[in-house]
Amino acid sequence: MPINKSKKWFVIFAIIFSCSLLWALTGTDIYKEISEAVRLYNEVFRQLLVNYADELDTKELTETTVRDMLRELDPYTVFMTEEEKEPLDVLSKGTYGGVGLRISIRNDTLTVISAIEGTPGMRANILPGDQILKVDTVFTKGLDVDKAARLIRGAIGSKVDLLIRRPGFGEPKVYTLEREKIQVHAVTYSAQLKPGLGYIKLAEFSKGATAELKSAIDNLNRQNQLKSLILDLRSNPGGLLEEALSVAELFTNPGDTLLFTRGRTPSANRVFIAQKKPFVRPEVKLVLLIDGGSASASEIVAGIIQDLDRGLVIGSPSFGKGLVQTIFRINAERSLKITTAKYYIPSGRLIQKSDYLKNPKVVRQGVAGDTLFFSRNHRPLKGAGGIVPDVKVAPNTMPEYVTELWRQNMFFTFAMKYRSQFNQIPKEVDDQIIQQFREYLDNVGFHYYEKKEKDLKNLEKQLQSDSRFANRTALLQQFYAVFDSTRKAEFDANRQFIIQGLSSEFATLQNGLAGRTAADLKYDPVVAAAIAQLQDEVSYRTTLGYNR
């Protein structure tokens, strides 16, 4: 079967590229391996294109084989189209063209969490809880958040039509908004939890994160001069290395080694040393909060603070992502993100967990390093990936009953109904609201099955299909009665969790993400542990190794 012109040029290009590479490379072992690998790949590809029974889609086959090849390595070495690269561009620029809406999926519906202040979404009075049914001509049902966000974003100055329904307030309406330059906010909340005790939530390390953090610290200092600061990095997936190092410099001293990277190429081996005077006074006590969602840049900052004994790290162990990626442009539409080095924090610890390779056979790894390291004050620290907190505090374990209330969006739908019915949002969840919520659950038929109850129902189905037990499954009803009686007591047993859930949703409707964060902090055991440490001078200094 003859190949078409574009495919012929593709094959010719591959052969020319291979020959040029062979001509250019020296006779060292590594270059011989490269030349042999390229020759094998090109020959297999050529034979397929020329001889396969059906005509092949060259572009699709090429991209698929490249993606499959990279899947054998680590999760962060990936082939990217321009659309896939967009989140990285937003992170690196710190801005995007859009209307300034924070969105999520609630009850399978694209829902507004909040509108960013000063944006088209805020000026159009789009409120938390509003449901976006359509973006221009595309219905949003079934779309994930990332896809919906890409539809809403666009060129600055262009317009987008959003069909929005406000539950309980009439028919959906079309909002025509002009996209503007939207600033990505890394600091999502800051406040003084007690006089002189500040709290800042840093959601990501996007461009401008350090400037936002400095501004938040300044604002807190103006309220009451800070004596202590909690920097919350939980669920912070990371971001830009330069922002992470700049954030670390706010708390460290000139000359402190902050980070070094190691890779196979000279450009991958770097050492980063603090150059600036600390922005935060050394006498200000510091606590960083981390969890399993704290990764990459978050772990760099937490690790630096821990290794240099500048502050305490509290929470649960971090994710363990310490691989450096570099983006290489392949052509106008495609890029390759390759892991080129590994991060090491001041004590010499490698942040990356050891089990990151999908197929270890294709990577020649070095000998495993040490697993015990020491901080500046000679505190022993665990290596082998991730950051282990100085004080471990597990988040609240949510009972199954409450988990189902969240999963079925009972708190959210009740809060929306309450706002619609009374045209107001309560400041506190009192006994009357609790009773109304109980009645609401009964009216909507809220129900859930415990795992053991589900197992029992599966057993019942199996027994019913067996003639020996067809008339005896009624015996199981007494077990179902036990589950029913237990369920009736679940509401009262979980009253505090229910108050927390309702408070969180009411606060979101009232003040968006900031309101939700403020409400949730009141019930946060990790924040409570941080406050306790900061208020106990002896414990704080002893944990950091100053009272040895």
Confirm if 296 and 321 have CB atoms less than 8 A apart: yes
Please, what is the Cα angle at 266 between 270 and 27, to 5 degrees? 165
Confirm if 217 and 226 have CB atoms less than 8 A apart: yes
Could you say which of 307, 309, 390, 524 is catalytic? 307
Strands 323-329 and 334-344, bridge-based pairing: antiparallel
256 is a catalytic site residue:
no
Write the burial class of residue 372 (CB in 10 Å: 0-12 exposed, 13-18 middle, 19+ buried): exposed
State the amino acid at position 202 in one-letter form: L
Inter-helix orientation angle 400-407/477-493, to 10°: 80
3-class secondary-structure state, position 193: strand
Alpha helices by DSSP H, 96-240: 120-123, 145-152, 209-223
Question: Which tokens hold the place of 196?
Answer: 């002189």
Strands 180-183 and 78-81, bridge-based pairing: unpaired
Confirm if 385 and 321 have CB atoms less than 8 A apart: no
Confirm if 297 and 243 have CB atoms less than 8 A apart: yes
Task: Look at residues 308, 94, 62, 329 and name the one whose alpha carbon lies nearest to residue 212.
Answer: 94
Could you say which of 321, 335, 347, 524 is catalytic? 321
Question: Which tokens hold the place of 377?
Answer: 């004050």
159 is a catalytic site residue:
no
Could you say which of 246, 294, 296, 316 is catalytic? 296
361 is a catalytic site residue:
no
Task: Look at residues 90, 85, 2, 84 and name the one whose alpha carbon lies nearest to residue 49.
Answer: 2
Task: Look at residues 452, 440, 441, 436 and name the one whose alpha carbon lies nearest to residue 400.
Answer: 452
Distance in angstroms (rounded) separating the CA atoms of residues 343 and 461: 54
Question: Which tokens hold the place of 140?
Answer: 């949003």
Task: Look at residues 202, 190, 188, 214 and name the one whose alpha carbon lies nearest to residue 239.
Answer: 202
* Backbone φ and ψ of 414, nearest 5°: -70, -40
State the amino acid at position 110 in one-letter form: L
Residue 129 DSSP code: T
Confirm if 158 and 139 have CB atoms less than 8 A apart: no
CA atoms within 13 A of residue 321's CA, in its CB half-sphere: 21
Catalytic residues: 296, 307, 321
